[in-house]
Structure 1
């Protein structure tokens, strides 16, 4: 059984993934994998340079984050072009990993949900999410809201998912998560 862990920015999906790791499982982190592949894959490097230009990487071979971010935010078409390069590489990498759990902020938007048997949505109230991200990343409320607007709505995420964990700071995560894992193990 493969379980995808989804949730928007500030929802706490990484916290839930950490809990799963504490239970003794490995979790494939799509964001970390994308960063690793962007840095190490010669194919991705060449495609980024062709798409963005020679400044996509610094002189020492590192991703030039300001240049790539400016390109990414300039238009939706640019974001799609980057995703069209990165997502297939992440999909292949996940399939080759053989891991049972996978975390992705863009589970449905990217299509990676097709590689798992069930999806667990981690949700939290909007204001809680905003405050978490502002505190964690040191960015403005407006930037957080802009980021949230680029992601699937929580309502749609809940509708498309098989399980939901509420991470509002009040509800006990362990109890919800253990129940879901037991239920998944019974089904598979």
Structure 2
């Protein structure tokens, strides 16, 4: 079974591309969603986060205090690195278990915004980058997330690897630039990946 990573900057359209692959029957692991689940349910990680960020990391009901963690870590590069260094290994273990549970599939996709930044690309056989021009990405993100400002979106982009670097490190590129149709690109890549098995 091939393990394929799919990444791209905020607003590039990773989620819509993954939905198209899912419609073709490809299992998709959403690393961001699973990271939230792991942070809520993995007892060892909960302990590590509480030790690193204090008891405020979780509410009295035991729920992850995302607002607190974001306020502490997002604007402090060292704390953000600490948070990621604690969370990513647990998500990596969760992905390994998920792959074992999906052995019947010819290939699986791991969707992650920080695939290269987290080092999780090393677990994978090939990488797909969903690419879109910066102005389109910012516009899409502001439409999707009305609570964010342009400054917020630019701050997120500044923390992500540049798109050119992602493209240089990937084996496959899907262009979501509002010029090229997504479905034919996904179908062609699906056929290519199946041919490798």
| TM-score, length of structure 2 as denominator length | 0.92
- Give distance in 2, aligned partners of 1:57 and 1:96: 25
Residues 20-62 of structure 1 show CA distances to partners (whole Å, capped at 9, x for unaligned) of: 1111122000001100000011111111111111111111111
* Larger proportion of helix: 1
Query: Aligned residue for 2:55?
Result: 54
Offset of residue 187 of structure 1 = 2.1
Query: Aligned residue for 1:43?
Result: 44
Query: Aligned residue for 1:144?
Result: 153
Q: Which aligned runs of 4 or more in structure 1 are off by greater than 6 angstroms?
A: none
- Give distance in 2, aligned partners of 1:21 and 1:132: 22
Within the candidate set 108, 111, 116, 1:103 is matched to 111
Q: RMSD of aligned C-alpha atoms? A: 1.0
- Give distance in 1, aligned partners of 2:123 and 2:187: 22
Query: Aligned residue for 1:113?
Result: 121
SS in 2 for 1:144: helix
Structure 1: where are the runs of 5+ without partners? Answer: none
Query: Aligned residue for 1:124?
Result: 132
- Give distance in 2, aligned partners of 1:6 and 1:66: 25
Alignment size in residue pairs = 188
SS in 2 for 1:113: helix
| TM-score, length of structure 1 as denominator length | 0.97
Structure 2: where are the runs of 5+ without partners? Answer: 103-107
Residues 127-180 of structure 1 show CA distances to partners (whole Å, capped at 9, x for unaligned) of: 110011111111110110010010010000000000000101221111111111
SS in 2 for 1:107: coil
Offset of residue 74 of structure 1 = 3.5
Residues 68-91 of structure 1 show CA distances to partners (whole Å, capped at 9, x for unaligned) of: 011112311101111111100111
